[in-house]
Structure 1
Amino acid sequence: MKQDARQAAFSHLLLSGTVVHEAVFEEMQETLGVFVRPNAVLVVSVDRYPDLALGKPLSWRIDIGRRVVESVQRALQEPFVWVWVAEGVLAVLIELRLEQPIATAYQQATDKIARRIQRYADQQAVSLSIGIGSYCDNPYLLQYAYEEAKESMIDRFFQGNRLIFHYERKNGTQPQWNDPLHPEERAELLARIRIGDRAGAVRLLKSILQKLANVYRRNVDMFKSEVIDLVTGISRGVIEAGADAAAILSENSRFIQDLYSTIRYDKFEQKVCDYVCRLAEQVEDANLSHVSPIIRQAIRYMQEHLQRAVSLCEVAQFCCVSAYHFSRLFKKEVGCSFVDYANRMRLRKALYYLEATDCTIQQVAHYAGFQDANYFSRIFKRYMHTTPTEYRKAKLC
């Protein structure tokens, strides 16, 4: 079904609200020759369209558009008009003749129509999700029903495909905001980035994303804002560790725009993890760029097991070399002994906790992988020539 230019203009004027600048509604109907009086708006969206369309030719886009429109046309017996409002997204304006009570009859009628559209789309091998705005018998206010239909679909971010969403008016009272993450969780993520623990950072990040998703399941915008704030903090930490500030800030801007336009949680999570992995690599590369693959493998193993005592023999065995050979090779390439490097790595993590959190010295020792606070304090003073408490005070001044 080809788009009729007059129906497209009619639909656009109603959905944009600009009909009020053109004419009285009945006069516009006469002028355009379109006599539908819509009181319902459905937003019909092709599931995972950005992923499906990636790399596809124009002919594919035309074909999938044809299949969506044919599905709508076959499903609807009521008077309607339609217009494309974005790639893969069709707005359908329907005139329903309803019995009382309106609210119940409207939900039943629109739900039935949406399911019919989905069934016909299934036959066309197209998966659709559909958002439904509130009943609106005033054509000059139909734009609000359209906005509601779009807003209703925001829940699709977490829930998946082939769904039907009815708009639900939100309670006017704003819930009190509480940070769902403990300061230690944020600190641990940033500390792992600081020491170049890419794998550990990504594992923790996935756990944090899932926690935020559970808290903000009904508020996608808040979820995205929290994650973007987290990514911004990570970027800042990478810059402080010596990475190229101009390159990271420029990439950050593009990445954040991309995140806000991402419509599925699984895709969102993958993008965030991939980006944070790239950021962590910049710290890791600075630390490991000059060492052999065996020593790089050893250091990554040490990073991943920093919370417990890891012996030289254990790491040598992991790298499939003798302890004697590994010890000599490590000192030659890194410039210090295995134990010395492990202490320095733990201290880099401890420094971040001392600078960025209010954790006690005992807690800092634990998070950095020292089994005893007294031992931590002795090691700290040996390398930093001051105590953890004095270091923290100096940083706060």
Structure 2
Amino acid sequence: MMPLNEEIIRKHLKMYNKVSGISCFLTDENGEVLYAEGMVPQYCMQFKNLTGDKCPCTKSHLFAGKQAEKIGESYIYFCPGGLANWVAPIVIESIYRGALAGGPVQMSLPDDYVVDKIIDANKFDISNRGMLKAYLNLVPVIEPEKVRYLSEMLYILAKDIMAEEASVLTERKKFYQNQAEINENIQHAKITGEHITQYYPVELEDELVSRVKRGDKKGARIILNELLGHALFSNGNNFELTKARVLELMIMLSRAAVEGGGNLEMIFGLKYEYLHEMYELNTVESLCEWIMKVLECFTDCVFSIGNPNNSITIQKAVQYINKNYMNSISLESVSDYVYLSTSYFSKLFKKELGINFIDYLNKVRVEESKKYLFDLKVPLSDVANIVGFTDQSYYTKVFKKIEGVSPGQFRKTRCR
């Protein structure tokens, strides 16, 4: 097992302490403190003296570190002494090796109630009240927002220590966030459960396809999470039904990537590879993680950009278009946004994406207009203006060119 580079860790902790003025320390995989930088508050020393061999601090550090490892980011927690701490995990070779920790601090002004609760919870003699209260007043008070930034700063240092291994935490953070979003959607479904089993959000599937075709990874992920939440709620504990539904979503994603201009052979090859992976999955969590990986890969296939420098510029332009398509944007305004001349940006855009600027903008607007066509409450005459077309007839012409039917015909056939 690769040893921790304690010299680098000490250097990082010293720098953190000097810059922030907050005490910090390193714990091992068992929660034991290996090294500390800064003064240990007298309140903490007295708490340890009073608890003796039963001091719960080590277990508290271990629990917080493991929680941080689980969610893939820093974790703020209250120690048994009632003080705020934060921790950033260190994972080497996919194994939890310990954590960097900051604190303790108070996130509000000292309160006698806190001391009374600590005395009561740990069965301390009441004669210790005055001393604990006096020592608590010496613990620094840091507002919650600053504590959050301090925790994020510590996490940056932990990632620097882990170097390439930090990608493990990044993946865990994404997985945890996805699970949280899916759970939120399930809870929402439970609240509106009278109708959820009878109604499948087909319009969300169309929106998902639209996002993938445009290479909008973030927007597609949000919608996919909602669809997963619906699938899990509707199918209950039937894993095979859920698996079949997720398989349908994968097929839909692959088609969207092809329609968006992705390489057909590459996508079909990935599809075959992912099918083999899917057969090995046996938990809902692994299934959700897998389909998110599929989504990212297929979305990346839509616009595979070669030169990394060009990639950043064009991705920035695409993000700007996706965010502002409903406004009056032009080739000139977007080229100004990415600090390129209009002619060079136009050539670069076509070279990297295989589609010229105005065609891409029209494609985005048409895809977005579909969700308003699905909504019968929105007058057909208003749709063009909502998505950025200033001329109704031009919108109809562009829509028919891309979809093969007029907006009115699309609404009639898809919203019967």
TM-score, L = length of structure 2 = 0.40
